[in-house]
Amino acid sequence: MKRFIGLFGLVLFFAALPSGGQVSELLQKCDEAYAQNFVKEKLKEAIECYEKVLTLDATNKHSLNRLSQAYYEWGFAFLFVFAEDRAKTRRLSQGARFRAAELKARRRLQGC
């Protein structure tokens, strides 16, 4: 009887495991969405897709790696949305530093 229960438990365990085909198909879909990570909606779709893969297979290294990269890029997208904004931000910060240095120099000259 114990053998039967053990065998039955083992069969249930392996039946609950995700099939390799299901995970690989989902990974392919995730990779296609991640390939277009410059579009914010596709990046969000890729993140959700990789999280679905992890619910099926929590030890999937490819999914964990891509999910961490996608979260990194998602955070970076909020800091600098477009390359133009990055250049504009850089110019503004340089301009502010130059203005501050100029003001400091004028104050020192007036003090002399």
Task: Indicate whether 14 belongs to any domain.
Answer: no
With respect to residue 73, please indicate whether it lies within any of the assigned structural domains.
Answer: yes
* CATH code (residue 60): 1.25.40
- Structural domain for 71, as ranges: 20-79
pTM across the whole model = 0.55
Number of C-alpha atoms within 13 angstroms, CB side, residue 4?
Answer: 1
> Structurally, how many domains does the chain consist of?
2
74 and 34 fall within a common domain:
yes
Q: Could you list the pLDDT tens digit for every one of the 112 residues in the chain?
A: 666 565 545 444 444 444 567 899 999 999 999 888 778 888 899 999 999 999 999 999 999 999 999 988 888 777 766 556 666 767 777 777 777 777 778 778 887 5
Residue 26 sits in the same domain as residue 56: yes
Task: State how far the Cα of 5 lies from the Cα of 12, in Å rounded to an integer.
Answer: 10
75 and 25 share a domain? yes
d(CA 56, CA 61): 13
Name the phi and psi angles at 43, rounded to 5.
-65, -40
**Which residue pairs, CB below 8 angstroms and at least 24 apart, start in 54-61?**
56/18, 56/22, 56/23, 56/26, 57/18, 57/23, 60/23, 60/27
Structural domain contains residue 54: yes
The tokens for 69 are 């990269």
